Amino acid sequence: MAGVIIVGAQWGDEGKGKVVDIYTDEADLVVRYAGGPNAGHTLVVGSEKVVVRLVPSGILRRDALCLLGQGTVVDPKVLVGELDTLDAKGLSPRDRMRVAERAHVILSYHILVDGLREATTSAIGTTKRGVGPCYEDKAARRGIRLRDFRNRADLAARVTKALAAWAPTIVALGGEVPTVESVVEDAWAAGQNLLPLLADTAALTERALRDGKRVLFEGAQGTLLDVDHGTYPYVTSSSAIAGGACTGVGIGPSRIDAVVGLAKAYCTRVGGGPFPTELEGEVADRIRKVGAEFGSVTGRPRRVGWVDLPALRYAVRLNGLDSIALTKLDVLAGLQTIRACVAYDTPSGRTREFPVDELESATPVFSDFPGFSQDVSSAKSLEELPKEALDFVRFVEAEVECPLSIVSIGPGRDQTIVLAHPLRDA
Ligand code: GDP
Ligand code: IMO
Ligand code: MG
């Protein structure tokens, strides 16, 4: 049995797509456990770049079965569009893809509400994909699930109830309430297209684990965007942390053998909310440009900042990380000085903890490191890194008290220094 979770340790976009693709080499099953089309996971093979929002990042490896667990929220049109695109590349994704029949569905009114709210002063900078309102419906027990697409009259009856609940909100926000028929019609064809893929993904995953198969649980978003533990209310609406893999897929915690946390050698954030190590000016522009830090879903420029070690320690603790995959080290090349936040000064004194609810009044304390000028993107081992780069990497590892399993030095598959392979070693 080998169940390994890949989880974002920062505010998302840490390179989960790339690392899942690398590890899928050794996996039989790849399962997304949370989030929806708010995610954008980038896979780079040779000169080709593929961005997946719902389809698990294992899809490019032809041997792996890919599942969307019931903790995810599915926009049928987005998923069908992605499958068609992958189909056109000759990957036959439908042969290797199953979707939880109990996964909740994003419908047009979820996207409408998300967009209307983002136009108000209480906007939080969501991806406007309807993810938050869909999870709200799930918690309010009026959500639509993919299995409801088996019967159109039944679906319409459920949509009628949900829409009645949303109508006052839509009107108050200045929107127009859509008709039940228009909502159903909008999603019906895509929903029908997905019916052959529906399955009991929890049972499939458990069976695979019992049969000794190797399962990768692919996280979306990141620890600091988790609805319970992130920088609330500037978070997403799902359990992004490793624990979310158990509830989101429907397997027991005893099935997990290892948890790998992904972190950039610096930090980014998209959307609103506190970001104490945020940078502005020339260094920020340089990191954004070299690191191509523009949202893969929305195209928004990502906010950039120095690596936050108290936040990373928080992620090590919350996820029970066994190792960290440190990505985008190459992006720091050419900077005169590299900084790392090592502690915070707060009104109650200096702390090495991440003051998640006091970030507005906390000041980061930095350690400075000399930069490195050499291009590191073709290094094959840590020994090939310039001393300054290696010293920085070793400092991060020691400070967060968690060993590194990967140091990533470029977007490509071969730009990866693999120090430990949790699936092979489990
Ligand atoms: P995800 O949401 O965690 O899967 O990350 P995204 O795909 O949204 O963003 C990460 C971006 O960084 C993608 O464009 C990747 O191709 C790229 N990337 C991943 N690892 C590295 C790396 O080590 N160096 C560089 N330069 N780019 C990387
Ligand atoms: P991946 O999986 C980065 C952020 C949004 C916003 C907040 C809430 O690619 O790492 P939502 O649309 O979820 O209601 O938005 O969460 N956000 C992400 N930021 N990467 C993501 O996914 C994100 N998914 C959501 O920018 O701040
Ligand atoms: Mg992303």
Q: What confidence tens digit (pLDDT) does each residue in 331-375 have?
A: 999 999 999 999 999 999 999 999 999 999 999 999 999 999 999
Which ligand is located closest to the Cα atom of residue 42?
Answer: 1
- pLDDT for 177 equals 98
Confidence of residue 192 (pLDDT cuts 50, 70, 90): very high
Confidence of residue 299 (pLDDT cuts 50, 70, 90): confident
Contact at 8 Å (CB) between 420 and 403? yes
Contact at 8 Å (CB) between 54 and 68? yes
Which ligand is located closest to the Cα atom of residue 302?
Answer: 2
Q: How far is the CA of 199 from the centre of ligand 3 (A)?
A: 26
Relative to the CA of 220, which ligand 2 atom is closest? 2
pLDDT in tens, 152-165: 999 999 999 999 99
Relative to the CA of 220, which ligand 1 atom is closest? 2
Cis before residue 196, ω within 30 degrees of 0?
A: no
* Span 176-199, average pLDDT: 98
Relative to the CA of 40, which ligand 2 atom is closest? 9
Mean per-residue pLDDT of the chain = 96
- pLDDT for 118 equals 97
Which ligand is located closest to the Cα atom of residue 261?
Answer: 1
Confidence of residue 423 (pLDDT cuts 50, 70, 90): confident
Confidence of residue 308 (pLDDT cuts 50, 70, 90): very high
- 10, 16, 18: residue to mutate for ligand 1 pocket, most atoms within 8 A of CB: 18
- pLDDT for 105 equals 98
Alpha-carbon gap, residue 145 to 100, rounded angstroms:
9
- pLDDT for 298 equals 76
- 221, 224, 296, 297: residue to mutate for ligand 2 pocket, most atoms within 8 A of CB: 221
- 126, 293, 303: residue to mutate for ligand 2 pocket, most atoms within 8 A of CB: 126
**Exposed/middle/buried for residue 212 (C-beta within 10 Å: 0-12, 13-18, 19+):** exposed
> Which residues belong to the active site?
13, 41
* Span 187-211, average pLDDT: 98
Q: How far is the CA of 38 from the centre of ligand 3 (A)?
A: 8
| Nearest CA among 158, 127, 157 for reference residue 12 | 127
Q: From the CA atom positions of the chain, what is the Rg in Å? A: 21
What residue owns the CA closest to ligand 2's atom 6? 126
Confidence of residue 1 (pLDDT cuts 50, 70, 90): low
Contact at 8 Å (CB) between 72 and 55? no
Confidence of residue 425 (pLDDT cuts 50, 70, 90): confident
- pLDDT for 426 equals 63
Contact residues of ligand 2, CB 6 A cut-off: 8, 11-13, 35, 38-41, 125-127, 129, 131-132, 220-222, 225, 234, 236-237, 270-271
Q: How far is the CA of 75 from the centre of ligand 1 (A)?
A: 24
Contact at 8 Å (CB) between 224 and 305? no
Domains along the chain with CATH numbers: 2-90+200-418 (3.40.440.10), 104-196 (1.10.300.10)
Q: How far is the CA of 294 from the centre of ligand 3 (A)?
A: 9
Looking at residue 306, the DSSP 8-state letter turns out to be E
* Span 200-210, average pLDDT: 97
Long-range CB contact pairs, 119-128, < 8 A, 24+:
119/173, 120/173, 123/272, 124/233, 124/234, 124/271, 124/272, 124/273, 125/234, 125/270, 125/271, 125/272, 125/273, 126/38, 126/236, 126/271, 127/37, 127/38, 127/271, 127/295, 127/297, 127/298, 128/298
